[in-house]
Structure 1
């Protein structure tokens, strides 16, 4: 992994945690994801008008990814509605890197050298530590529906990460791929909201319009950077590095949602830094 790829993925991690925090702050999750999904579709349509159309071989992956992303959004809405941001976000993101590693080796034919494998393992240990401290620090018994929703979200993240890693390479245009992905995935939830809320939807969207559209721009930027990185580095290290957003998310939870960020989370963050260093050493 080159330094440029590392910087791009770290910027993506920060912007991803930011838009998730914006979505969580909107109590009506259907409103939040309607704004973010609809806004991303509009931005995607604008980008598609000025970028190459993805190659034919990328379209099966685009369609599969759009379906996986819709499932991910539904699961994320569910987990955010059931649990705290500082707990749900780390669990959802922390399950993905090791699953991506297994899928990339099993289905994409990638292999990891010793430094990359060690980096992914250490970084994942740090991410799991943050997630487990979220459960321990809550002071309450685990809320299993919330935890299961967050774990299922993580599995969906791993699935679309691998699908998109193959698809964006086949597309020969990362910008065109992300543009059409946003168009395809971003319409279903707004359509459902329009159907279920009828005439009340506009009034419900209006107070959060600016925040939601900013979240859409951050969401598209974050994933666009990840897709570009996946064309220049193996999937597993990119996935592990991307999930450093958990540390950002934990900090956001502490500062803005008044959630705890104690010594165990600092230690887990240290493991994440060591893992990143090992992945850099692999490059």
Structure 2
């Protein structure tokens, strides 16, 4: 139980860090998505390197027994990141966070199917409540009837697909945690995304003002803390147990969105 509590605390901390990451990205302005991915991933390595010095040492960070699984996990995660950051350009902060709540629902279902985790009544109830929330969220984007007839808005569609992809990442992390160090999982993912982001900049690049670069770098550091906290959380607790705590992110998103950007989420 003590380990589970540690996992929950890390998960809550991750929601705050990821919300601060979104704030930095929005303050950075309209920048090509690949460039945002590069800054987010490259500067996310800073907190990882600092952590590694006090835990396992950098020499042990790069050691892995499952290199191909790291590549698969990183490719899936990078896809989710590109989709998520693309949606962020089209939706208010609270809305992008709200659509992210579909991810815990997918994660609980996948955990039961793939990892054979037991989904008890409390976790099951959390999934049902989350599903009800999703049905509420899609109303401002046309409702079920309009979605069936005309499809989701671009931002909502990107956000939902990103959530599904991210749910698979959760399952990969849980599986890898049995043999791989959390620092190693984060290192290979961030490095992979930084390389992919840099390659995309060969075609889509925009010179940045210093202020924009600083905001994106800050977003990367915040995202790094979030990535570390999230990855460690799945070492201590099952995905189906941690999934309901993702909803705390809405508190941060609504607060930051209103105070900093004057945004009122569409679902309100």
TM-score in terms of structure 2 length: 0.81
CA distance in 1, matches of 2:241, 2:62: 25
1:94 is matched with 101
Deviations 1:126-182 (A, max 9, x none): 75377347648xxxx9962222111111111111111112112321x2122212221
Deviations 1:203-252 (A, max 9, x none): 41633222222211111111211111111111122133134213311222
Match for 2:90 among 63, 78, 82? 82
Alignment of 1:170 with 2:179, yes or no, is: yes
1:128 is matched with 134
205 and 42 in structure 1: CA distance in 2 versus 1, 3 angstrom threshold: farther
RMSD: 2.9
CA distance in 2, matches of 1:42, 1:4: 23
- Structure 1 unaligned runs (5+)? 266-283
- Structure 2 unaligned runs (5+)? none
C-alpha contact 2:6 2:236 (8 A) present in aligned 1 = no
CA distance in 2, matches of 1:130, 1:18: 25
115 and 169 in structure 1: CA distance in 2 versus 1, 3 angstrom threshold: same
231 and 158 in structure 1: CA distance in 2 versus 1, 3 angstrom threshold: same
CA distance in 2, matches of 1:129, 1:76: 20
C-alpha contact 2:45 2:190 (8 A) present in aligned 1 = yes
Alignment of 1:244 with 2:253, yes or no, is: no
TM-score in terms of structure 1 length: 0.77
Alignment of 1:3 with 2:5, yes or no, is: yes
1:18 is matched with 20
Deviation at 1:258, TM superposition (A): 1.3
Deviation at 1:15, TM superposition (A): 0.9
Alignment of 1:150 with 2:188, yes or no, is: no
CA distance in 2, matches of 1:134, 1:259: 15
C-alpha contact 1:29 1:81 (8 A) present in aligned 2 = no
29 and 43 in structure 1: CA distance in 2 versus 1, 3 angstrom threshold: farther
Tell me the SS of whatever aligns to 2:236.
Answer: coil
